A and B are shown apart, each in its own frame.
Chain A
């Protein structure tokens, strides 16, 4: 092959790189190792993580059972090793799965249109806020302090450089729900959107209808976010919201130390041309057969460049496919039963450990242990239980409170053991 290229040696392939820019030594990385050694190495690393622990952690990342079928599907090379479906004639498989994903996201959230996925819930929030800015021409976002703290941090990073003003509004210390008086006092003619999460970071269900009415009265949009998608199996969807930006990790996406997950972005029909990211549409091919293709690309970076609605390109297609398979397996009845089981487990735990807030909760809630939470969690670790998330790091005002989560995978015996230590 070198001869065909008219070259005498492989080094000549790089003659266009000036000598001073070339690396004159081998990379200081060890030689390659065999497949067996790689497995062995990662197993040894995995052994240094938590293994065989019961866990009460939620806080945006949930332990839900992953049916075997999910990996069977996503391991097919035709899904795993294909690119973004720009060439529709040989990408109909991926395109149709995305079309189903978009449909089910709409059905779950009560929205009209949804895109093909975002990186995750946290990055979907600033995208939603920027979308609200474009729609309203206003530059202030009001975000609930009860929304996920890391989502709010990401929003702040994005906002800082674009002249977007971010203001937080508080929560009621008795119910754990939005402090509507505080929200109302901050709404003004510069407010582009109000961002709320439900169930909120404390697991408490919010009154999205009321928040929407308040936002709309001020000419602002309601952006609704969620971290626990399983809640949508039983909770009324946010039909009054304008934009829904959330996270589908609960649907067969393993916690994986925080990613990769699958964010969603859905909206009312009239805002479709302001949506960021990829969209799949239904059409026909030249023989009149149903066919799908990427569409409305004039919103996107590869066409619009600096005037695009977002810079997003690669999204989370394969992870969104995991969620798609999960939603189809569980279906209408399964997601309902899943939600009911989560509700039952968390409320059993709530009968043993008193919730801090009085608002209705889905599958997690805050509680205040009798002893310092660090002490409690250390004691629990000895019983091979990872306790809840201490809240003081994100909410100093909540002192010794801890956030506890129970899902369909949480066993009654472990909840009893937790309650005993926390008492």
Chain B
């Protein structure tokens, strides 16, 4: 039975270009307090455009209605549980939005004098220090803009350190359970990728790994907990194997929310890792960004961190650009500062004990789901999980229903789908991550929905094949979209 939702009216809305009529405006500018300038005279007639062809002309209220109507076509955390595995869709506290908009922070120019930027620099310094403590590593750069950007930064650091020893090496090892960004990153950093097969537990096979690590291997990129939501219990051994051959261990910190306050990568041999501020530290995903991808490193990689580095002088903070070993800049200025403000606010609100509690609740919620759903869905790797749990659609596939169908049906029950068909090592994966911010009531609603769907698979599989039924937009023809791409209005 569907308990969480029922249908209501939703407003139609056209593309803004179709609403446009000549002469309408939605802006105001003050009268000029200086003489107007003839553009053709100042810039040269050939440099001046006639108009921006096709640009919309609408009023303010039309803009407000346009976006408000569109917003109601979206699902969001603010509407309910968003159990996308690996994406960590937790509640985004609004205080974080408020402080990021305080004028002295939001309007700080990156080139304003350091003496007039001490508050912004303190945000950066304090966040770096907190992330060092949380990861157990020695230094942090906040410059990378997102997780994949952090990965690239991290691998460039590895490369720089190995180059300084005389040989950057050739290969990066990536487990077959990894996020696609890992191999893509290795490629952009100039490395070839060697895949590492998982063992029958879905974990790194230590003996297999030992056989692979040679003088050509620069690093292993490993997600921990891995994408099955399981802690790689041999991680310290893996680190030893790599270190003994002069290679390093890069940890993809996408799942760091399962470890905060419980275990620290620096304590189990990790040399370098990234953190997703928009996952673990709750800065909003915003429909796909902005993110923040800080990189934490052990002491031996610190000399290579991007410039500039924040330096604490006797009575002020300063930017240090004189870093001869640095890999250079990975982004203009200092990183996604506004995202840093939000993440620091989250850390201050929770404090040390609160951060650990969040980890405990996230892991408890995911284990609760595993226990409640294990009788209804296949568990290819049946073992205690951390912050997420991965089922397979094996049982349902026998009836012709796949993970993608179950996901679409879940929409009718008022939930966003889980992550579909990832990790790749699980056939027909259902990857579920509840996060700590869901109450038992919401979890039970979700569990009931999943059980109800499992029964539908037995009794009326056709219902699932063309789900969702209750949304204003039904299944979208993605094949035609890719075959004959229409990427803009004309």
User: B-facing mask of A233-256, CB < 8 A → 1, else 0?
Assistant: 111110000000000000000111
Please determine whether B119 and A49 come into contact, CB atoms closer than 8 angstroms: yes
Please determine whether B287 and A119 come into contact, CB atoms closer than 8 angstroms: no
Please choose the segment from B208-216, B448-456, B481-489 that sits at the chain A interface, where 4 or more of its residues have CB less than 8 A away: B481-489
Report chain B residues within 8 Å CB of A32.
Answer: 348-351, 353-354
- Interface check A382, CB cutoff 8 A: no
Please choose the segment from B61-69, B243-251, B295-303, B395-403 that sits at the chain A interface, where 4 or more of its residues have CB less than 8 A away: B61-69
Most chain B CB inside 10 Å of its own CB: which residue of A1, A321, A377: A1
- Interface check B95, CB cutoff 8 A: yes
Q: A272-B485, A314-B291, A329-B63 are in contact. Are A5 and B109 (CB under 8 A)?
A: no
Please determine whether B37 and A81 come into contact, CB atoms closer than 8 angstroms: no
Report chain A residues within 8 Å CB of B145.
Answer: 119-120, 123, 259-260, 316
Please determine whether A333 and B25 come into contact, CB atoms closer than 8 angstroms: yes
Report chain A residues within 8 Å CB of B347.
Answer: 29
Interface residues on A, range: 35 or more
Residue of chain B at shortest CB distance from A277: B288
- Interface check B459, CB cutoff 8 A: no
- Interface check A146, CB cutoff 8 A: no
Task: Tell me, rounded to whole Å, the shortest Cβ–Cβ distance linking B12 to chain A.
Answer: 10
Please determine whether A327 and B105 come into contact, CB atoms closer than 8 angstroms: no
Please determine whether B57 and A83 come into contact, CB atoms closer than 8 angstroms: no
Please determine whether A123 and B149 come into contact, CB atoms closer than 8 angstroms: yes
Q: How far is the CA of A272 from the CA of B23 in the complex (A)?
A: 34
- Interface check B146, CB cutoff 8 A: yes
Most chain B CB inside 10 Å of its own CB: which residue of A83, A279, A343, A348: A83
Task: Tell me, rounded to whole Å, the shortest Cβ–Cβ distance linking B55 to chain A.
Answer: 4
Q: A38-B348, A94-B287, A337-B29 are in contact. Are A162 and B190 (CB under 8 A)?
A: yes
Report chain B residues within 8 Å CB of A82.
Answer: 74-77, 82, 285-287
Report chain B residues within 8 Å CB of A381.
Answer: 113, 116
Q: How far is the CA of A82 from the CA of B407 in the complex (A)?
A: 17
Report chain B residues within 8 Å CB of A74.
Answer: 286
Please choose the segment from A56-64, A134-142, A180-188, A212-220 that sits at the chain B interface, where 4 or more of its residues have CB less than 8 A away: A56-64
Q: How far is the CA of A94 from the CA of B79 in the complex (A)?
A: 15
Please determine whether A30 and B352 come into contact, CB atoms closer than 8 angstroms: yes
14 A-B interface contacts by CB (under 8 A): A16-B231, A32-B354, A49-B112, A49-B117, A65-B29, A73-B63, A89-B471, A233-B52, A256-B337, A308-B187, A314-B276, A334-B26, A340-B39, A343-B43
Residue of chain B at shortest CB distance from A302: B180
Q: A23-B262, A30-B352, A78-B72 are in contact. Are A148 and B332 (CB under 8 A)?
A: yes
Residue of chain A at shortest CB distance from B13: A96
- Interface check B54, CB cutoff 8 A: yes
Q: How far is the CA of A233 from the CA of B352 in the complex (A)?
A: 49
Please determine whether A340 and B36 come into contact, CB atoms closer than 8 angstroms: yes
Q: How far is the CA of A75 from the CA of B24 in the complex (A)?
A: 25
Please determine whether B332 and A90 come into contact, CB atoms closer than 8 angstroms: no
- Interface check A145, CB cutoff 8 A: no
Please determine whether B332 and A301 come into contact, CB atoms closer than 8 angstroms: no
Q: A16-B230, A81-B92 are in contact. Are A315 and B289 (CB under 8 A)?
A: yes
Q: How far is the CA of A100 from the CA of B16 in the complex (A)?
A: 7
- Interface check A421, CB cutoff 8 A: no
Residue of chain B at shortest CB distance from A115: B487
Task: Tell me, rounded to whole Å, the shortest Cβ–Cβ distance linking A271 to chain B.
Answer: 12
Q: How far is the CA of A59 from the CA of B333 in the complex (A)?
A: 11
Report chain B residues within 8 Å CB of A268.
Answer: none
Please determine whether A295 and B231 come into contact, CB atoms closer than 8 angstroms: no
Contact of B184 among A71, A90, A236, A310 (CB under 8 A): A310
Residue of chain A at shortest CB distance from B36: A344
In addition to A93-B72, A104-B55, A120-B145, 14 A-B residue pairs with Cβ atoms within 8 Å of each other are A2-B364, A50-B117, A87-B75, A93-B73, A93-B74, A107-B54, A113-B487, A153-B332, A256-B108, A256-B337, A280-B487, A304-B180, A314-B290, A412-B33
Q: A16-B231, A336-B51 are in contact. Are A94 and B288 (CB under 8 A)?
A: yes
- Interface check B197, CB cutoff 8 A: no
Contact of A13 among B24, B102, B363 (CB under 8 A): B363
Task: Tell me, rounded to whole Å, the shortest Cβ–Cβ distance linking A263 to chain B.
Answer: 9
Q: How far is the CA of A237 from the CA of B47 in the complex (A)?
A: 9
Please determine whether B92 and A120 come into contact, CB atoms closer than 8 angstroms: no
